[in-house]
Structure 1
Amino acid sequence: MTGSLVTLLLVVVTALILRWRRPACYWMTFGVTLAALRVAVRYASVMDACGLTVPPARWRLSLARMTNRPVPESRVPRILRLRPTRTGLVLRIKLRPGQDAFDVASATDRLRHSFGMYGVTSRELRSGIVELRMTGYDVLRRVQMPAETGPAPMRIPVALREDGSVHYRDYRAVPHGLTLGATESGKSVYQRNLVAGLAAHDVALVGIDCKQGVELFPLARRFSALADNPDTALELLEALVQHMEDVYQLIRSAQRITVDVPDADIAAGIWDLPADIRPTPVVVLVDEVAELALFATKDEEKRRDRIVTALVRLAQLGRAAGIYLEICGQRFGSELGKGITMLRAQLTGRTAHRVNDESSANMAFGDIAPDAVLAAIQIPTDVPGIAVSGDSTGGWTRIRAPHTSLRQAVNICNRHADRTPDVPALAAFRPAVAPLASATAPLTKAAPTTA
C-alpha cells in the first residue's frame, strides 16, 4: 500500500513539474487524456450553459405529450470527431437546424473556461460543420515547429499560430506580402525564417537591404542578386521589370492557343508552362522600404519615384511571371509619398509585429481587418516575435516565428548554396562571395610555440 502511494505521489509531482517547466511534454503525457475526458463528460452541460442548444422537434414534444412521458431535453450539436494533437484537441461538430457558426464563435471564450483549455478558436469548414481548435497550453511562449510540415512548392512554414497549427507563407495563394514591426519586435527573425525556408526551394532570392546590407548580405551565398543602397536598388528593380517582360514574352510564345488544345493546357502564367521551359520564380525581399522612399534632394526624389513605380509594376504584374514581393518596414503610410498607398493595396498578405502607435497598425490592417488593429497594438514588449497575420479575407490570427539566429540562417543558406540559380537578367547584381572554407581547415590560426 505504501509503495502504491509513493508511486502515485511521484506521478503527481512529475506531472506538476512538467506542467510548470515543460508544458508541451505535460500535454503529450498527461494533459491530452485529461482534457479529452473533460470534453466528453462536460460536453452536453457546457453546450447548454453556453446557449448552443436548440429546442426538441415538435413531433417529439407531441409524442411525449400523447404518451405522457417527460419533455425531451434540448439538443446539442452532434460531435463528428474529437482528435488529439501535439498542442491540443480538435473538435468537429455538426450544428443543428437553426444554429449558426457565429453563435459558436461568440462562445469560444466561455468554451475555453468551461473545458479548462488555454485557448479555443472556431472556423466553419462548410455549411453546418464547425471545427473547434483547442490548445492545452501557451504554444507561443516557446515555439516548437513540427518536424513534418508538408512541403509544397512556394509554400513555406514560417511560424506557429495561437491555435497550434502551422502558419505558412504560400506565395502561389498570396503572391505579395507586407511585414511591419518596430525595432526589436522580431521582424528580422521572421525574415530569417522566411529566407531559411525558401533556401531549400528552387527559387531565386533577390534582396534589397539599404542598411548597408547588415541583414541580408550574411546570407549572400543563397541570393541571386543583392543591393545595399538606393541607387543599386533602382537598377536592380528596373532589371526585374525587364525580366518580367521577357517572361511574359516566353509565356505568349508557349500559349499554343488552337482549337485542339485543351483549356487546361493554355498557359497564362509560369506555373502553366512545361517544367523544362518554366522560368525560375523570384522572391524579392525589401528589408526597409522607407529607405527607398525617403529623399532630400530633387535628384533623390526622381530616383524615389522610379523605385516606387518599379515596385508598383512588379506588384501589379509580377504574379503571373513568378515574381513575388516581400516588403518589410517599420512604417508604411502615405507620408512616404505618392504611390505608396497604391503599392500597399497590392500587398495581400499582412503581418504586423509590435508597433509603436495605432496608426502603424492601421497601415497594416485598417483597410482589410479592422479587428486586427487592436490585437496588434496590444502585443507586449517582453515577447519579441509575436505578430498578427491577416489577409484580404478579413481573417487574422496571432503567430510567432521560432527564434532563428543569424548564424543558423547563414548555415542553412550555405548548405543550399548550390540551389542558387543564375538569372541572366540579374547577373550584374550577383553578390561576390568567397568560397566556403574546407571542412578540414582549422578554424583558428595556431599560435607559435616558444621555448
Structure 2
Amino acid sequence: MTWFMVAVVVVVAAAGLLRWRRPAWYWLTLGVALATVRVLVRYASVMDACGLTVPPSRWRLTLARVANRPVPESRPPRILRLRPSRTGLVLRLKLRPGQDAFDVSAATDRLRHSFGMYGVTSREVRSGVVEVRMTGYDVLKQVQMPAKTDTRPMRVPVALREDGSVHYRDYRTVPHGLTLGATESGKSVYQRNLVAGLAPMDVALVGIDCKQGVELFPLARRFSALADNPGTALELLEALVSHMEEVYQLIRAEQRISVAVPDAEIAADIWDLPDDIRPVPVVVLVDEVAELALFASKEEEKRRDRIITALVRLAQLGRAAGMYLEICGQRFGSELGKGITMLRAQLTGRTAHRVNDETSANMAFGDISPDAVLAAIQIPAETRGIAIAGDSTGGWHRIRAPHTSLRQAVNICNRYADRAPDVPALAPFRPTVTALPSARVPLSKTAPATA
C-alpha cells in the first residue's frame, strides 16, 4: 500500500509539473482523456444549469400521462460528434426546436467554467447545428503552429486563433487588409510572418517603407519593388495603377465571349485566364500609411492627394487585376485627411494589435462590431503579438502570430530570392542589394579632447 501511494504521488506531481511547464504535452497525454470524460459525464446537468435545455413536447407529456409514467425531463441539444484536437475538444451539437445559435454563444463563458476548460467559442455550421470549440490551455501564450496547414495560392497561415484553429490571410477571399498597432505591439512580427508566407509563392511583393526602409529593405531580395520615401512611393503607386490598366486590357482581350464558350470559361479576372498568359499577382505592403498622408507644404499636399488617390484606385479596382493591398500603421484616423475614410471602406480585412487610442480601434472595427472595438482596447501592453482580427461580416477572433525574428525572415526571403518575378512596370523600382561597408557611420561628432 505504501508503494502504491508513493506511485500515485509521483504521477500526480509529474502531471502537475507537466501541466505547468509544458501544457501542450500535458493535454496530449492526460488532459484530453480527462476532459472528454468530464464533458460526457457532466453534459446533461451543465446544459440544464446553463439554460440550454427545452421542456418536453406536448406529445411526450400526453404519452407519459396516458402510460402513467413520470413527466419526462427537459432535453439538452443532441451531441452529433465529439472530436479531440491537439489544443482542445470540438463538440458539434444539434439544437432542439426553439433553440437558437445565439443561446449557445451567450452561454460560452458559463460552459467554460462548468466543463473546466480554458476557453470556449461557438459558431453556427448550418441551420440547427452549432460547433463548440473548447481549448484545454492557453494556446496564445506560446504559439505553436501545426505542422500541416491548408496552404493554397494566395492563402497564407499567419497566426493562431484563441480556439486553436489557424488564422489564414486569404487574398482571393479578402483582397485588401488594414493592420494597426502601436509601437512594440507585435505588428512588425505579424508583417514578417506575412512576407515569409508569401515568399515561396508565385507573387510579386511590392513594399513602401517610409521609415527609410528599416523594416522592409532587409527582405529586399524577395521584393520586386521597394520605396523608402513618399516621392518614390508616389511614382511606384502610379506605375502600379498603369500596370493594373494593362492587366485589364489583357483580361478584356482574352474574355472569349461567344456562344460556343461555356460560362465558366469566360474571363472576368486574372484567375480565369490560362496559366501561360496569366499575369503574376502583386501584393503591396505599406509599412506606415501615416507617413504617406502627412504634409507640411503645398507641394507635399499635392503629392499626398495623388498618393491617396492611387491607393484608393488600387483598392477599388485592383482585385480583378490580381493586385492586393496590405496597409499597416500605428495610427489610422480621419484626421489624416480626405480620402482616408474612403480608403478604409475598401479594406475588408481588419487586424488591430494594441493601440494607443480608442479612435484607431473604432476606425478598424467601428463599422464591423462594437465587441471587437472593446476587445482591441483591452489588449494589455505586456502581451505583445495579441491582436483582434475581423472582416466586414462582423465576425472577429483573438489571434497571435508566432514569433519570427528579422533574421529568420531574411533567411526565408534570401532562400526564395529567385521566386521574385520581373515585372516590366516595376523594373525601375527593383531594389539593388549591395554589401554594406563594415565601418559604422557615426551619428554625432566626438568633441576633441582638451588639456
The two structures have a TM-score, normalised by structure 1, of 0.95
Deviation for aligned residue 1:208: 0.1
Structure 2: distance between partners of 1:36 and 1:152: 33
Q: Which residue of 1 aligns with 2:80?
A: 80
Does 2:28 align with 1:28?
Answer: yes
Measured in 1, the distance between the counterparts of 2:302 and 2:395 equals 38
1-structure distance, mates of 2:170, 2:298: 39
Equivalent residue for 2:134? 134
Tell me which residue corresponds to 2:206.
206
Match of 1:242 in 2: 242
What's the offset of the Cα at 1:434? Answer: 3.8
Q: In the alignment, what sits opposite 1:394?
A: 394
* Cα distance in 2 for residues equivalent to 1:47 and 1:411: 51
Alignment of 1:29-428 (within 5 A): 29-428=29-428
State the Cα deviation string for residues 260-319 of structure 1 (Å, max 9, x = none). Answer: 100000000000111111110000000000000100011101100100000000000000
Q: Counterpart amino acid of 1:336? A: L
Q: Secondary structure at the match of 2:351?
A: strand
| 2:266 aligned partner, one-letter code | I
**Residue of structure 1 equivalent to 2:443:** none
- SS of 1:82's partner is strand
Q: CA deviation at 1:28?
A: 0.7
* Structure 1 unpaired stretches of 5+: 437-451
Aligned-partner Cα distance in 2 for 1:5–1:269: 70
- State the one-letter code of the partner of 2:179: T
Q: Distance in 1 between matches of 2:435 and 2:72?
A: 78
Distance 1:131 1:58 in 2: 28
Q: Kindly provide the CA deviation profile for residues 163-198 of structure 1, in whole angstroms up to 9, marking residues without a partner as x.
A: 110000000000000000101000000000000000
Shift of 1:9: 2.2
Match of 1:441 in 2: none
- Deviation, 1:4, is 3.4
Determine the C-alpha separation between the residues in 1 that align with 2:357 and 2:331: 10
1:7: Cα distance to partner?
A: 2.8
Secondary structure of the residue that 1:15 maps to in structure 2?
Answer: helix
Cα deviation, residue 57, structure 1? 1.6
1:280 and 1:9 map into 2 onto residues whose CA distance is 62
Helix, strand or coil at the partner of 2:258: coil
C-alpha distance in 1, partners of 2:95/2:349? 32
Larger CA deviation: 108-117 vs 3-12: 3-12
Alpha-carbon separation, structure 2, partners of 1:360 and 1:72: 54
Whole-Å separation in 1 of the counterparts to 2:7 and 2:416: 50
Contact 1:331/1:363 (<8 A) preserved: no
Runs (4+) of structure 1 exceeding 6 A deviation are none
- Aligned length, in residue pairs: 436
Question: Which residue type is aligned with residue 230 of structure 2?
Answer: P
Q: Deviations over 1:98-133 (max 9, x none)?
A: 111011111001000000000100000000000000
Structure 2: unaligned runs, 5 residues or longer: 437-451
Amino acid corresponding to residue 377 of structure 1 in structure 2: I
Counterpart Cα distance in 2 of 1:67 and 1:320: 67
- Alpha-carbon distance in 2 for matches of 1:280, 1:140: 35
In 2: Cα distance, 1:370 partner to 1:75 partner: 34
- 1:76-118 per-position Cα deviation (integer Å, ceiling 9, x unaligned): 1000000001110000000011111011111001000000000
Alignment-mate amino acid for residue 88 of structure 2: G
Quote the Cα distance in structure 2 between the aligned partners of 1:69 and 1:307. 78
Deviating more after overlay: 2-11 vs 60-69:
2-11
| Secondary structure in 1 matching 2:224 | strand
* Cα offset, 1:360, TM superposition: 1.3
Cα deviation, residue 435, structure 1:
8.4
- Identity of counterpart residues, as a percentage? 84
Contact 1:47/1:53 (<8 A) preserved? yes
Aligned position for 1:443: none
Deviation, structure 1 residue 373: 0.6
User: Distance in 1 between the 2:332 and 2:99 partners?
Assistant: 42
- Corresponding residue number in structure 2 for 1:448: none
TM-score under structure 2 length normalisation: 0.95
* Counterpart Cα distance in 1 of 2:330 and 2:29: 42
Which amino acid in structure 1 is aligned with residue 401 of structure 2? A
The separation in 1 between residues aligned to 2:402 and 2:266, in whole angstroms, is 41
Q: Is the 8 A contact 1:185 1:385 kept in 2?
A: yes
Paired AA for residue 267 in structure 2: A
**TM superposition shift of 1:363:** 1.1
* Alpha-carbon contact 1:315-1:346 (below 8 Å) kept: yes
CA contact (8 A) 1:234 1:303 kept: yes
Q: Distance in 2 between matches of 1:293 and 1:60?
A: 68
CA distance in structure 1 between the aligned counterparts of 2:151 and 2:285, rounded to whole angstroms: 21
1:401-426 Cα shifts (integer Å, max 9, x gaps): 01100000000111111111111110
Distance (Å, rounded) in 1 between the aligned partners of 2:411 and 2:3: 52
Aligned position for 1:429: 429
Report SS of the residue matched to 1:236: helix
Amino acid at match of 1:176: H
Tell me which moved more, 316-325 or 334-343.
334-343
SS at structure 2 position matched to 1:360: helix
Give the Cα–Cα distance (whole angstroms) in 2 for the partners of residues 307 and 343 of structure 1.
Answer: 11
Once residues 432 and 226 of structure 1 are traced to their aligned partners in structure 2, the CA distance between those partners, rounded to angstroms, is: 10
